Amino acid sequence: MIENFDSVLNRRDSDSVKWNRYPQDILPLWVADMDFPCPPPVIQAIQERLAHPVFGYSLPQESTKQSISGWLDRRYNWKVSPEDILLFPGVVPAFNIAALAFTNPGDGVVIQTPAYHPFFDVPENASLTVQLNPLVCSNLPRYEIDFKDFKHQIKPKTRMFMLCNPQNPTGRVFSAAELASIAEICLEKNVIICSDEIHCDLIYPPNQHIPIASLSPEIANAAITLISPSKTFNLAGLKSSAIIIQNQKLREVFLKQSSGFARSINILGEAALRAAYEDCDQWLDDLLIYLAHNREVLSEFVKHELPDVSMKVPEGTYLGWLDFTETDIESPSAFLLENSKVALNAGDWFGAQYYRFARINFGCPRDTLLKALKRIKSALISP
């Protein structure tokens, strides 16, 4: 399997929100959606399913759960029984349903910032109190967890911690020691860990992704892990994800809460998920080499070509978190949209205090990335 990641595709004719949200003169490097074709085995699996002309109600296939279990074992040495896996149409609806299932109105939920914006919707949707634990980075080479503040944020009525690992937007990949410290506090305080690990496959050496639930049976008993092939294999439009809940009681409560809202994934999404996790290891390994080079290109360009802009080198994901606080630009995304014709995610989408940051997606052909970076440089250094 050889993929040409340098090939530039025309996505404006594909109903792409990434490419069609803005006018044609805008280069979009915002939403977490890569500009690479998905792996050939995935396309083949969908085409084979399309050969049958009926798309009626379907039963989730046991082989799909086995493919997920096999993937977790191969990639992370995490042994998960197929019966502990639920197929679900998305990570975002899953963590919202988890909040409804395991908390009561007025309870608290801890969120680490900067955070993926839909995290902030959870407290509102479930009538919860949000307790923020900002990651810290002053004079540090990467973002770190403030454990003293983390423990302080857990109040008597706190019932859930929403972990994001790898962390979006900073790209941190938390170590086993960090995860163990988090879990120890949560277990002590009887707090459920809802872990969004959607970017878990996109890791750069020497970093390693460690599912928090894989650390011990006690942690697994208090954890809900959310994964999906959507970021890894560019399948977001197929709405396929998996939830791992090894505590049978928690699993039953989650299923009961999800009834009437969302249950399984669609036929084509299931076929794609199964093919991705069974037949695309080599494709992913090749992708990671390409993304690692893009990450280096981005990091070096920011360091040497963008005055007063900085970035902590991401340990995972294909997302860069650009810091404009040393510039006089109040809203970097708005400034760059107008002056460089490049669309990035606004920093305050990840928390109100991050309005002088912007997130860039480097999951694209290298020529596209370089074109965008040169436009950004031109806008920043122009008189």
Per-domain boundaries in the chain: 17-38+281-381, 43-279
- Whole-angstrom CA distances from 365 to 6, 13, 290, 294, 378 are 5, 18, 9, 8, 20
Peptide bond preceding 166: is omega within 30 degrees of 0, i.e. cis?
Answer: yes
> 222, 186 in Cβ contact below 8 A?
yes
Instruction: Look at the domain 43-279 and name its fold.
Output: Aspartate Aminotransferase; domain 2 (3.40.640)
Pairing label, strands 223-227, 241-244:
antiparallel
> 342, 375 in Cβ contact below 8 A?
yes
pTM: 0.95
Q: What does the mean pLDDT of the chain come to? A: 96
Supply the pLDDT for residue 2: 57
Sheet order of strands, 85-88 included: 85-88, 241-244, 223-227, 192-196, 158-164, 108-111, 129-132
- Work out the number of other CB atoms within 10 angstroms of the CB of residue 186: 24
Positive or negative: CA dihedral 85, 88, 92, 98: negative
Distance CA 201, CA 227 (A): 9
Cα of 361 vs its chain's centroid, Å:
12
Supply the pLDDT for residue 4: 86
**Residues of the chain under the 50 pLDDT cut:** 1
Distance CA 45, CA 43 (A): 5
Supply the pLDDT for residue 61: 87
Distance CA 159, CA 10 (A): 46
334: tokens are 């708005």
Instruction: Look at the domain 17-38+281-381 and name its fold.
Output: Aspartate Aminotransferase, domain 1 (3.90.1150)
The residue to which tokens 């690692």 are assigned:
292
